[in-house]
Structure 1
Amino acid sequence: MARIRIYDPALCCPTGVCGPSVDPELTRIATAIFLLEKKGVDVKRFNLSSEPQEFVEELKVQKLLEEKGTDALPVVIVNGEVEKIGEYPSNDELASWTGLSKGELSKKDKSKNNITLL
């Protein structure tokens, strides 16, 4: 199965899903990662503000930051190869990389009128 590493820009918390106005893209990726972890996928996120050493130790990320600055973030590395620069992967991409179905990367919250969290 895939090994996925996501190098986030500086966020206020590990998921970026906090504060008065939440970016829906951060909510979607946080939900997808949570569900991937539940399925046993080796996926990790690193936050530039709280884990800068991870950005230094991953030479591909370090090089992108030197070339493009923080505009390169987020950087997504799958099985050691850079797959995305400057944007989060779609649920289709995550499904393709992991062999899961796209439906397995959305979550129905039954306590809130069957709203699908993307």
Structure 2
Amino acid sequence: MKKMKIFEPAMCCPTGLCGVGVDPELLRMSTVLETLKKHGVIVDRFNLSSAPAEFIADQTINTYINEKGTEGLPAVMLDGKIVITGRYPANEEFAKLLDLPESVLGKQKKSGSGGCGCKGGCC
């Protein structure tokens, strides 16, 4: 099974789902990762403020941060290689990267197409 890690910028809590103004993309990420977990797929998620040691211990992400800074986060790694930076994968990308059927996560609704209307996709 492929191993995916997501390295995120510093947030107030490990998931970023605290406070009054919850980012819909972080809510989507939590939902996607929980759905994957129910299907036996574990994606490790590291927040710079709550898991800084992971950023130091992983040589690939450490080099990336030293070269690009934290502005390039989130960074998604698959089997030790950075495959996406500056954004989270769409549902379809998760399925493709992890060799899963798209039906596991369903189609992501787009703004303005009768979906949820959240910026950048559905909540």
Structure 2 length as normaliser, TM-score? 0.81
Q: Which amino acid aligns with 2:23?
A: D
Q: Report the equivalent of 2:79.
A: 79
Q: Which amino acid aligns with 2:28?
A: R
| Percentage of matched positions with identical amino acids | 44
- Contact 1:55 1:62 (8 Å CA) reproduced: yes
Higher strand share: 1
Whole-Å separation in 1 of the counterparts to 2:102 and 2:66: 34
Q: Report the equivalent of 1:33.
A: 33
Q: Report the equivalent of 2:113.
A: none
Whole-Å separation in 1 of the counterparts to 2:51 and 2:45: 10
Q: Report the equivalent of 1:43.
A: 43
Q: 1:12 deviation in Å?
A: 1.1
Q: Which amino acid aligns with 2:32?
A: A
Structure 1 runs (4+) deviating above 6 angstroms are none
Unaligned runs of 5+ in 1: 107-115
Q: 1:100 deviation in Å?
A: 2.1
Count the aligned residue pairs. 110
Q: Report the equivalent of 1:112.
A: none
Structure 1 length as normaliser, TM-score? 0.85
Whole-Å separation in 2 of the counterparts to 1:20 and 1:90: 25
- Contact 1:75 1:87 (8 Å CA) reproduced: yes
Q: Report the equivalent of 2:99.
A: 99
Q: 1:102 deviation in Å?
A: 2.9
Higher helix share: 1
Please give the secondary structure, in 2, of the residue aligned with 1:25.
helix
